[in-house]
Amino acid sequence: MTDVLRRGRASLALSFLAQGVAFALLVTRIPAIQDRYGVSDALLPAFLAAVPVLAGVGSVMTERLVKRIAPSRVLRWSQPVVLLALLGVGAGERMVELGVALAAFGLAVGALDASMNMLGVSLQRSYGRSIMLSFHAAYSLGGIVGASLAWVGAHWELALVVSYLPVVVVLLPAALVGSRWYVDGDVGREKVAEGSGESGPVVFKWLLPLCLVMTFAYIGDSTVSNWSAKYLQDVLGSSEQMATVPYNVYMVTTLLGRAIGDFGVRRFGAVVVVRGGALVAAAGFAVVAAAPGAWVGMAGFTLVGVGLCVLVPQTFAAAGRLFPGASDTAVARLNVFNYVGFLIGSPLVGALGDAWSYRGAMLVPMVLVLVTLGYARSFAAQPDRYGDGHERPRTADVGRGSNGL
């Protein structure tokens, strides 16, 4: 493996980690943001929904941008915007300033998520084996770091700008320096391999199963993120302190699952890993729905983390295999359904919980995750055969980093 690939992999992992930190710092300090700007409970959902909506727009814009410039350049400049927008959220004083900062954050996050995963897919192709889960493990680690820093800020009652500024001061130059070693593989460009039926335009009906899996995975993820604490406290009768534990445990199990997940894909293949993940996640939601007490409920949320953690990275990887000559487009379009799931999941569970019961509401993400089993064949290796002991030749152009683009 060349030094170019190794540096490219390390720099991209740093980008995933920085994004995990930034996103966690934003979403875990929402109550403090609300207090700082005087955002009412009625207006807060509109602000929160605007971020994923604009992120979807950013992802669509990125699909168009990468037809003219390399994904590494989009990533190089979108990550600083995300970090500066985060700082803007903490430093502003008026609601209009919050709106501008969140709008910039949303658009840049869409571009960042899409370009990061484009580079991840092309790097995996260059390596000839599964490495996509390792990048998302770095994101999970960043989320844990960001949530921990947010806890420190809340515990010591630090102003938002005081919490955010040191993080931006550290991550911004690190991300800019690291961006020098991003690697753009030639497989991510909009090229049609002559004589190959595998390449060419992205046909949405072929991408649709992966879009549904992405949506269902994020519905499950947003259920844990937004409702685990309330569920433990209000339904299972836990203390307020204990109710904060499930999400932290969920993030840790997500990190561990992704850290070892690539070995599972190489050994058993993506289809087996996705099916296993879906079954474990569904079992976790079933345990949560039937839990007699808080400790069993916490065990259920832990199982959900173990199962869900493999689905999103493998969905991006499968899109790259399905459309090897147009993987940038496929990843950008697939990335939009990340935000669709996020937008649907939390309101859906909340509405069902209020109208029916929160135990019953937990069965909905369980069923949706089980539907993933019907689409597992979409994760089968196309020409690349990641896993199964069949490694493809390393044919991507890795001799050029992003420096000269």
- pLDDT, tens digit (0-9, with 9 covering 90-100), for 147-203: 889 888 888 989 999 999 999 999 999 999 999 999 997 533 444 333 333 345 777
CATH 1.20.1250.20 fits 198-387, yes or no: yes
Angle formed by the axes of helices 95-127 and 132-155, nearest 10°: 150
Residue 345's φ and ψ, nearest 5 degrees, are: -60, -55
Rounded Cα distance between 359 and 361, Å, is 5
pLDDT at 280 (0 to 100): 98
pLDDT digits (tens, 9 = 90+) for 362-379: 999 999 999 999 999 999
Alpha-carbon torsion (3, 7, 110, 303), positive or negative: positive
Are the C-beta atoms of 222 and 345 separated by less than 8 Å?
A: yes
The string of DSSP letters for 93-127 reads -SHHHHHHHHHHHHHHHHHHHHHHHHHHHHHHHHH
| Class of 1-180 in CATH | mainly alpha
pLDDT for 154 equals 85
Same fold for the pair 1-180 and 198-387: yes
Q: DSSP code of 69? A: S
Range with lowest mean pLDDT among 15-29, 190-204, 385-399: 385-399
- Greater pLDDT, 183 or 399: 183
**Which residue type does 56 have?**
G
Mean per-residue pLDDT for 337-342?
A: 95
Beta-bridge partner residues of 280:
none
pLDDT given for residue 167 in this prediction: 97
The string of pLDDT tens digits covering residues 216-263 is: 999 999 999 889 988 998 999 988 778 778 888 898 999 999 999 999
Buried-state track 27-49, b at ≥16 Cβ within 10 A, e below 16: bbbeebbbebbebeeeeeeebbb
The overall average pLDDT reported for the chain is 88
Cα–Cα distance, 217 to 227 (Å, whole number): 15
Rounded CA separation 345/258 (Å): 22
Instruction: Write down the pLDDT at residue 186.
Output: 54
Report d(CA 76, CA 78) in Å as an integer. 6
Domain boundary assignment for the chain:
1-180, 198-387
Q: Do 136 and 113 touch, CB atoms closer than 8 A? A: no
d(CA 60, CA 54): 10
Does the pLDDT value for residue 402 go beyond 50?
A: no
Asked if 222 and 348 touch (Cβ cutoff 8 Å), the reply is no
Q: Position of tokens 């406290």?
A: 233
The residue assigned the tokens 């980093």 is 401
**Amino acid 27: pLDDT:** 87
pLDDT band at 1 (very low <50, low <70, confident <90, very high): low
Q: How far out from the chain centre does Cα 175 lie?
A: 18
Q: Give the dihedral sign, CA 361/362/368/371.
A: negative
Residue bearing the bigger pLDDT, 18 or 402? 18
Q: Which of 106-120, 249-263, 345-359, 383-397 has the lowest mean pLDDT?
A: 383-397
Read off the pLDDT of residues 100-140 as tens digits, 9 standing for 90 and up.
999 999 999 999 999 999 999 999 999 999 999 999 999 99
327-355 helix and 363-371 helix, angle to the nearest 10 degrees? 150
Number of Cβ atoms within 10 Å of the Cβ of 352: 16
